[in-house]
Amino acid sequence: MATVSVITICFNNLADLQATCASVDRQERHPDEHYIINGSTAPDIRQWLEHTPQPVYRKWINERDRGIADAFNKGIHLAAGEVTHLLNSGDLYASADVIAAMMQVFESDPAVQWTSGNLSMIRGGQPVTVGKPFEKDKLYRGMRSVLHPTWFVRKEVYGRIGGFKDYKIAMDYDLMCRIADEPYRYIDKTITVFDDTGISSTAYLRALKETRTVYESYYGRSMPMILWQLRLKTLHHLLNTGLGKWLFRIKKKLGGENW
């Protein structure tokens, strides 16, 4: 059987980390290791890890980091598993069989280097499930529901394409631009319940701007991206109005939340 490392980064959010750890512990197939990368300034996470009984697969490192990308890279470097999953503190596995189902994909097809699936989240004030197969020719659309919290990635991939670059928000999109040619499979399964209090959600317009910077660094100026981002900005502003929320509820009833 292939081995799997789950990596969770955290910063001064003990309750979120505890919820994520409980989600990992409920899995039918536990990870071979669950690494906690704790960059907190407060001592409560370190104290909880060190003074509360933890499963044998849980490991941790308590030291300051230089931000999200640096914390991700620390976890990937430490991971011993053949497959990695980055499950941020506050995010949860959607069901007890997620790790088992995803590892079956890698074990049945050694050619697969990374996978993505579906994500449960709040959009327009409504609970929705989103997820689409990755298509390289649509990278100008940003993440496009190929959402990083659902990715399982063979560790060897990072040896070929490198780790996360030090962007403030769009480090996952930058990675997707570099992972685009690796053999991939979409899994039509809800993988993760997303904590939407993170910076990619609360600073959405900044995320769009950084996404454009990343895309242009690889592919140059793109009119399709400019027009697509204009659409996304319009929808973002609309969803923050009563009318927009009402229209989204109608869209959801028609099954269009993933359009």
Evaluate whether 141 touches 103 at the Cβ level (below 8 Å). Answer: no
Buried-exposed string 198-227: b where 16+ CB fall within 10 A, e elsewhere: bebeeebeebbebbbebbeeeeeeeeebee
pLDDT confidence bin for 175, thresholds 50/70/90: very high
Residue bearing the bigger pLDDT, 50 or 239: 50
DSSP 166-207: --SSTHHHHHHHHHTTS-EEEEEEEEEE--TTSHHHHTHHHH
Q: What is the pTM of this model?
A: 0.89
Strands 152-154 and 83-86: antiparallel
User: In this predicted model, what pLDDT tens digit does every residue of 4-42 receive, in sequence order?
Assistant: 999 999 999 999 999 999 999 999 999 999 999 999 999
- For β-strands 152-154 and 114-123, DSSP reports them as antiparallel
The proportion of the chain whose per-residue pLDDT surpasses 70, expressed as a percent, equals: 90
Pairwise CA distance, residues 259 & 253, whole Å: 13
For 4-253, CATH number out of 3.40.50.1820, 3.90.550.10, 3.40.50.300, 3.40.50.2020 equals 3.90.550.10
Is residue 121 within 8 Å of residue 130, measured between CB atoms?
yes
220: its two tokens: 């140059």
d(CA 60, CA 13): 15
- In the predicted structure, residue 152 carries a pLDDT above the cut 90: yes
CA distance 27 to 37: 20
Long-range contacts of 223-229, Cβ-Cβ distance < 8 Å, separation of 24 or more: 224/140, 225/140, 225/141, 228/140, 228/141, 228/142, 229/142
In this prediction, residue 127 carries a pLDDT of 83
Residue 85 sits at φ, ψ, to 5 deg, of -135, 125
Note the pLDDT of residue 72.
Answer: 97
Confidence of residue 203 (pLDDT cuts 50, 70, 90): confident
| Residue 245, strand partner residues | none
